Amino acid sequence: MLASLILIGGALGDKLGRKKIFMAGIFVFITGSAACGLAPTVTLLIVFRIVQGIGGALMIPGSLSLISSSINENERGKAIGTWSAVTTVVTMGGPILGGALADAGLWRFIFFINIPIGIIALLILWQYVKEIKDESGNLSLDFPGAIAIALGLALLTFGFLRIPAIGFNNWQVYCSFAAGLLLLFAFIVIEIKSKHPMMPLHLFTNLTFSGANLLTFFLYAGLGAGMLFLSLNLVQVQGYSQFQSGLTFLPFTLLMITIARYAGGLADKYGPRLLLVIGPAIAGAGLLILSFIKQTPGPSAYFSTFFPGVIVFGLGMSFTVAPLTAAVMGSVSDHFSGTASGVNNAISRIANVFAYAIFGALAVLFFSGALSDHVISLPISASEKHAIMTQTANLGNAKVPPGINAENKVLIEKLYHEGFITAYSKIMKISAALGFLGAVMAFVFIRNTALKKDKVASLSEP
């Protein structure tokens, strides 16, 4: 729901008022959070998570578009850097707090904690923030475009999410992708013909806007896969608790707090291009360093194993996030800031879903490939070998099937760990390559001189 509706949320903010839509999103989100915390069944929990997704889609583009449209453009990068730092604190702090609550069996409080935070945010917005919206007088809503993009993104997201469970070669995946792509094509046709398009396609004629979104896709696909498999490795293979796994990302968070605002200031002063070439390349190098880690003694060895890679990765992302956001928002006129934020957020979330689906399926393929040669030589029955291989779908959480004798059980557990680490290593290397590809996108497409010039040009668009 979040991935499919977030572009609509940004466009609604531009049309109806960014503060109004932002506050509506927060209200829906905390209502959904309260319902999730009280959900008596898994089915109802999923339904209320849908409500959260709707609220998030209205909420997430709002904060950034409010900042972008109300801050002087000469200080916008620094403001976005502050926003990025705060966002990272709560985003990365969530797994630490959530891990502690989950370890204590208090998962419902993961949802309840959103309620007081949301209420405080609503009071601050109501009291201190002015309404900002497109003053062109055109409040027409592009309903056909909204329906097409929402259904198209929803179907693509559903298709990606089904791949790890049922594989590529399944009618559900084929039908979801085909229908999703057809609806996205229909959306483009609708936007071309619409007098008041939800997403003006002329925004993509700005190579900086297009390049920044390509960078976002590749970098956030690598980021999503890297963070996911690093967490799986820590908890499922290396012996970290959920809480300890969350703490491993604390250096990342601290780097974002201390560097993001500084990086945003550099983007204001010198332009974002150089930072957007260097930052993703450093982040890719961090993921590459993490890919070489094998079995470790556990949390006691963190500083000599995972810490260096996390530091390099965090440094790269700290120099990237604020300049990237500033490049996206600075390449369009202020009355398209909500739409630009929605597009960029939608791409980052689609990239994450893409990473989870494709890399999840690849990891199972790599895991089973690393395991099969060893399992073939084991002195056990064919049915037992099949049961062992079936467990590869669980990745690092693979369990030795019942009925295996004690001696072979120890050996198979070792093979599971070694096989997962092999798969983890390959996934992290691919994630690193995506980071490097993001740096290439910045080098090819992003131009510092394009930002203000194209902003003036886009203001003259009819």
Answer whether 146's CB lies under 8 Å from 16's CB: no
Q: Please tell me the distance from the alpha carbon of residue 316 to that of residue 324, in angstroms, as a whole number.
A: 12
Per-residue model confidence (pLDDT) at position 410: 86
SS3 labels along the chain: CHHHHHHHHHHHHHHHCHHHHHHHHHHHHHHHHHHHHHCCCHHHHHHHHHHHHHHHHHHHHHHHHHHHHHCCHHHHHHHHHHHHHHHHHHHHHHHHHHHHHHHCCCCHHHHHCHHHHHHHHHHHHHHHCCCCCCCCCCCCCCHHHHHHHHHHHHHHHHHHHHHHHHCCCCHHHHHHHHHHHHHHHHHHHHHHHCCCCCCCHHHHHCHHHHHHHHHHHHHHHHHHHHHHHHHHHHHHHCCCCHHHHHHCCHHHHHHHHHHHHHHHHHHHHHCCHHHHHHHHHHHHHHHHHHHCCCCCCCHHHHHHHCHHHHHHHHHHHHCCHHHHHHHHHHCCCHHHHHHHHHHHHHHHHHHHHHHHHHHHHHHHHHHHHHHHHHHHCCCCCHHHHHHHHHHHHHHHHCCCCCCCCHHHHHHHHHHHHHHHHHHHHHHHHHHHHHHHHHHHHHHHHCCCCHHHHHHHHHHCCC
| pLDDT exceeds cutoff 70 at 455 | no
| pLDDT exceeds cutoff 60 at 243 | yes
| pLDDT exceeds cutoff 90 at 123 | yes
Per-residue model confidence (pLDDT) at position 291: 97
Per-residue model confidence (pLDDT) at position 84: 79
Q: Please tell me the distance from the alpha carbon of residue 171 to that of residue 174, in angstroms, as a whole number.
A: 5
Average model confidence (pLDDT) for the chain?
Answer: 87
Most confident of 5-14, 200-209, 281-290: 281-290
Per-residue model confidence (pLDDT) at position 425: 97
Per-residue model confidence (pLDDT) at position 460: 38
User: pLDDT confidence of 223, banded at 50, 70, 90?
Assistant: very high
> Could you tell me which of 100, 93, 89, 398 has the C-alpha nearest to residue 242?
100
Lowest mean pLDDT among 72-76, 372-376, 429-433: 72-76
User: pLDDT confidence of 450, banded at 50, 70, 90?
Assistant: low
| pLDDT exceeds cutoff 80 at 395 | yes
- Give 361 or 94, the one with higher predicted confidence: 361
| pLDDT exceeds cutoff 50 at 40 | yes
What Å distances lie between residue 402 and 344, 375, 386, 408, CA to CA?
Answer: 48, 16, 13, 11
Number of alpha carbons in the 13 Å side-chain half-sphere of residue 146: 15
What integer is the mean pLDDT of 26-49? Answer: 96
| pLDDT exceeds cutoff 70 at 265 | yes
Per-residue model confidence (pLDDT) at position 451: 61
- Percentage of the chain modeled with pLDDT above 70: 95
What Å distances lie between residue 92 and 85, 122, 331, CA to CA?
Answer: 10, 23, 28
Lowest mean pLDDT among 178-192, 241-255, 318-332, 445-459: 445-459
| Reported pTM | 0.82
Per-residue model confidence (pLDDT) at position 457: 42
What integer is the mean pLDDT of 334-356? Answer: 83
